[in-house]
Amino acid sequence: MLGPIHASMIRTCMNLLETCRLDCQKISPNRAWACKIPRRSYSTHRAIPICLIICHFDPQGHRRLLVAANRDEHYERATEPLHRWDSGMLAGRDAVAGGTWLGVSGRRFAAVTNIAGQARPDAKRSRGELVTAFLNSSQSAETFANRLKTAMGDYSGFNLLMFDGSALWLIGQDDLVPTRLRPGTHVVTNHPASDREWPKTQHARERFGQLDSPGAAELFSLLASEASATPAADEGAVRDYMMTSLFIRTPLYGTRSSSVVQLFADRGEITELGYDSHGQPSGRTRLEWVPDA
C-alpha cells in the first residue's frame, strides 16, 4: 500500500505527464502516445517551466553583460545549433517557426521565454521573431519595447529581455509595462517576471549568487544542475523538481541547450552546449566577435 508521500508524488507525475501529452499532441499528433491517461484538470502553476535566463548586468565593469541560459523544449522540435546568420547575428534557430530564443549582434543581446498558461492557439506570430527583430534593428531597447506594446495580441505569452549596448530592458505580457533593469543579477523564467517569489526564480538567483566571478565552465556546471530546492523525501519533490531544477529531463521534453554569453567592453563571446533526448551533451559551439565601435 502506498504511503501519502508516494501517492502524492505519483499524482504529480501523472499531471505532469498529461501536460506533456497535450503539448506533444500540439506539435506531433501522430506521436502523442505518452502516458495514455485520462485528461484531467490541473492548475496553471503546475505548467511546464520552459527556459531559464540568468543575467548579470554591470555597465561599469569590463564584463558588462553576463548571461547563462537554458532552453527547454520538446525533443521532437527541429532546431539548428548556434551559428552565424546571414544578417550577421549569432544564434541558434527554431527550424519550425524560423526564429530564435536567444542571440547576439554587435553590442546587442536578446532572449525570450514563454509564460506558462498563456499559450494562444490564435497567435499570429512566433515569439522567436521578437529576438530576431530586435537584434536586426537599430532601435533602442526602450523604443522597441514601447512599440511592441501595441502588438502584444499577436503573440502567446512571453518575457523578452533586451540589451542595446547601454541599457537592459524587460517586457512581459503580464503587465505590458517595459522595465529598465538596474545593474545586478536578474532571473527570467516562464513565469510572469514581476513575481520574484516564483520557486525557480529564487532557486536560480540563490545558486548564481554562490559563484564568485564565474567563467563559462562554472556557469555550464550551474546550468546542468538538477537539484531542486525541496528535500527528496518531501511530498512535493516531483513537482518541485519541475518548478525549481535548472536542468530539465523528462521523457518528452527537456533542456535542449545551455548558453553562456559574455559581452566585454571590447569583444563578445557566446558558447552553446547542446543536449540530446537523454540529457547527454551532443555538441558544443563557441563564437567570438568584435562589436563595431
Structure confidence by residue, pLDDT tens digits, 255-273:
999 999 999 999 999 999 9
| Bigger pLDDT: 87 vs 124 | 87
At residue 232, the pLDDT reads 54
At residue 24, the pLDDT reads 41
* Whole-Å CA distances, 24 to 63, 92, 100, 108, 218: 40, 22, 20, 33, 33
Mean pLDDT of the chain: 82
- The phi, psi pair for 284, rounded to 5°, reads -140, 135
Contact 166, 177 (CB under 8 A): no
At residue 61, the pLDDT reads 94
> In whole angstroms, what separates CA 67 from the centre of its chain?
11
At residue 229, the pLDDT reads 67
Work out the percent of the chain whose per-residue pLDDT is above 70: 77
Contact 114, 190 (CB under 8 A): yes
In which residue are the cell numbers 523538481 written? Answer: 241
- The stretch 167-196 carries a mean pLDDT of 88
| Bigger pLDDT: 127 vs 243 | 127
Q: What DSSP designation does 245 have?
A: -
Residue 116 to residue 184: CA distance in whole angstroms: 26
- At 185-239, the pLDDT tens digits run 999 998 887 777 788 888 899 999 999 999 999 999 999 999 876 655 554 566 6
Indicate the domain borders of the chain: 49-289
pLDDT higher than 60, residue 44: no
Kindly tell me the sign of the dihedral angle through the C-alpha atoms of 182, 186, 188, 191: negative
Query: 257: closest CA among 125, 101, 153?
Result: 101
Q: What confidence category does residue 43 fall into, taking pLDDT thresholds of 50, 70 and 90?
A: very low
pLDDT higher than 60, residue 110: yes
Looking at domain 49-289, its CATH architecture is 4-Layer Sandwich (3.60)
Most confident of the following: 86-90, 233-237, 241-245: 86-90
- The stretch 51-61 carries a mean pLDDT of 96
| Bigger pLDDT: 40 vs 198 | 198
Instruction: Read off the amino acid at residue 273.
Output: L
